[in-house]
Structure 1
Amino acid sequence: GFQDTLYVHSNRQFFRECDIYGTVDFIFGNAAVVLQNCSLYARKPMPMQKNTITAQNRKDPNQNTGISIHACRILATSDLAASNGSFLSYLGRPWKLYSRTVYMMSYIGSHVHPRGWLEWNATFALDTLYYGEYMNYGPGGAIGQRVNWPGFRVITSQVEAGKFTVGQFIFGTSWLPSTGVAFLAGLTV
Structure 2
Amino acid sequence: MSHSHPPVLRRLALFGLAAALVTTVTLGAAAPSPAAADSRAAGSHATAAQRAAKARAAQARAVAAAKARGLRIVAFAKAQKGKPYRLGAGGPKAFDCSGLAGYVYRKAQLKLGRTANAQFHQVRRLAKAQRRPGDLVFWVRGGHAYHVAVYAGQGKVWHAPKPGSRVKLAAIFEPGRVRYGRIGV
Q: Greater RCO between the two (CA within 8 Å, min separation 6)?
A: 2
Tell me whether the two structures share a fold, i.e. TM-score over 0.5.
no
Higher helix residue share:
2
Higher strand residue share:
1
What interval of TM-score do these two structures reach, taking the shorter chain for normalisation?
under 0.3
TM-score by length of 2: 0.25
Greater Cα radius of gyration, structure 1 or 2: 2
